[in-house]
């Protein structure tokens, strides 16, 4: 374990505390965006063709935004979007650096400004160790590195907005693991699907911390969010029915339990926090924080990496671990991500 992954004292933002948003765990995305006019604004939502992403696209469009949805399979994404009219689907694969560059170049060539970027796409709990073409562990590569490169390439359009927001989907699963900088790709330790997922979700929070610090001078603010335990999405496709039953999240008929105040939500409730972070005026002077239940989350007391069990406390127990907010770890991750991807905000 690195110095960044110990449970020692961490230097972090003083903004990580609830602000009494007026919303709660049961609030929906449509409710939190009421009264907000996004006409003339442009948004990009990765993974915006299903689940949380599709609901996010739906409410952003309803508020007047122009929305672009990157997708590896454009025809499939267009079919899944279905009756949600107005979204533009452009080709992009988060695991293909050239594809990310091509998407960004197309966007920059359009001379659009980018007001909202929601890094919603992700994968979870791959049963076996899988690597991308560069040799990077697949959950880290998809959930973090792909979005890191996308942000870096779109930086000129974000700066031009004179007030942009970037929202990255993390998870309470960040409590499975800090980022193990010495062995991100599991070459020196046995692969564990939840440790791999956990470090990618911690990376999402650390990314928001450093991104917000770097973006403030350009009026760019960044947030990380936990949407809730939403079982009706593609994210959970690698978890079998018996594992869900052991977590106590299915009813007698095998259907997902909806209990938002204990962390179990439907898609409309699950999308609320990312929409709130992307659009709420209450967050105009904030950033670099982790949010859940349409609120800035509390800081967990004396958290320990790996002291987390989905069946015991994964869905009901809120809060964020201090190691996910450590500014020094965030800077280290940023530098490492530049090395791993070969891109930076200056490029």
Question: Token digits for 115?
Answer: 């007001």
- At 3, is the pLDDT very low, low, confident or very high (cuts 50, 70, 90)? very low
Residue 232 has pLDDT above 70, yes or no: no
- At 246, is the pLDDT very low, low, confident or very high (cuts 50, 70, 90)? low
Which CATH number applies to 3-334?
3.40.50.720
Q: Which helix (H) or strand (E) holds 275?
A: helix 272-279
Determine the Cα angle at 45 with ends 172 and 206, to 5°: 40
Q: Which of 4, 49, 136, 197 is catalytic?
A: 197
Tens-place pLDDT, residues 267-317: 999 999 999 999 999 999 999 999 999 999 999 875 554 555 554 445 567
Residue 179 has what pLDDT? 97
Strand arrangement of the beta sheet that strand 289-292 belongs to: 88-91, 66-71, 42-45, 116-119, 164-169, 220-226, 289-292, 295-296
Residue 317 has what pLDDT? 74
pLDDT average, residue stretch 230-247: 59
Tens-place pLDDT, residues 173-229: 999 999 999 999 999 999 999 999 999 999 999 999 999 999 999 999 999 999 988
What length is written for the chain?
Answer: 347
Residue 262 has what pLDDT? 87
- At 47, is the pLDDT very low, low, confident or very high (cuts 50, 70, 90)? very high
Whether this prediction's pTM lies above 0.85 is answered by yes
Sign (positive/negative) of CA torsion 219, 337, 318, 316? Answer: positive
Question: How many Cβ atoms are within 10 Å of 94's Cβ, its own excluded?
Answer: 26
Q: Taking Cα atoms as reference points, which of 205, 206, 174 lies closest to residue 330?
A: 206
Catalytic residue check, 290: no
CA distances from 61 to 58, 282, 333 (A): 5, 21, 34
Residue 164's DSSP bridge partners are 220
Question: Token digits for 222?
Answer: 């960044």
Q: Taking Cα atoms as reference points, which of 221, 232, 184, 224 lies closest to residue 337?
A: 184
Question: What percent of the chain is predicted at pLDDT more than 90?
Answer: 78
pLDDT average, residue stretch 47-59: 96
Q: Taking Cα atoms as reference points, which of 90, 54, 52 lies closest to residue 71?
A: 90
Highest mean pLDDT among 5-19, 20-34, 224-238, 257-271: 20-34
Tens-place pLDDT, residues 103-127: 999 999 999 999 999 999 999 989 9
């Amino acid at each position: 374990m690195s110095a960044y992954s110990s449970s020692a004292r961490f230097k972090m933002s003083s903004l990580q505390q609830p602000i009494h948003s007026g919303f709660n765990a049961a609030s929906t995305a449509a409710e939190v965006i009421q009264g907000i006019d996004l006409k003339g604004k442009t948004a990009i939502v990765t993974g915006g063709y299903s689940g949380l992403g599709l609901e996010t696209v739906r409410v952003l469009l309803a508020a007047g935004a122009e929305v672009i949805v990157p997708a590896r399979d454009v025809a499939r994404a267009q079919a899944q979007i279905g009756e949600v009219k107005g979204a533009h689907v452009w080709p992009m694969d988060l695991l293909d650096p050239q594809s990310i560059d091509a998407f960004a170049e197309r966007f920059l060539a359009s001379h659009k400004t980018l007001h909202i970027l929601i890094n919603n796409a992700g994968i979870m709990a791959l049963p076996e160790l899988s690597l991308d073409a560069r040799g990077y562990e697949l959950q880290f590569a998809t959930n973090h590195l792909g979005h890191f490169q996308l942000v870096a390439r779109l930086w000129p359009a974000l700066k031009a907005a004179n007030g942009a927001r970037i929202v990255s989907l993390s998870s309470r699963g960040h409590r499975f693991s800090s980022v193990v900088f010495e062995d991100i790709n599991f070459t020196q330790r046995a692969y564990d699907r939840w440790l791999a997922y956990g470090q990618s979700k911690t990376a999402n929070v650390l990314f928001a911390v450093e991104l917000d610090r770097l973006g403030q001078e350009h009026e760019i603010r960044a947030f990380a969010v936990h949407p809730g335990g939403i079982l009706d999405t593609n994210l959970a496709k690698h978890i079998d029915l018996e594992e869900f039953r052991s977590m106590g999240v299915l009813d007698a008929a095998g259907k997902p339990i909806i209990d938002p105040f204990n962390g179990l939500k439907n898609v409309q409730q699950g999308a609320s926090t990312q929409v709130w972070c992307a659009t709420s005026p209450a967050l105009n002077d904030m950033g670099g924080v982790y949010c859940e239940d349409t609120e800035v989350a509390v800081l967990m007391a004396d958290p320990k990496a790996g002291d987390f069990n989905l069946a015991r406390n994964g869905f009901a127990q809120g809060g964020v671990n201090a190691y996910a907010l450590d500014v020094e770890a965030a800077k280290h991750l940023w530098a490492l991500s530049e090395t791993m991807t070969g891109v930076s905000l200056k490029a």
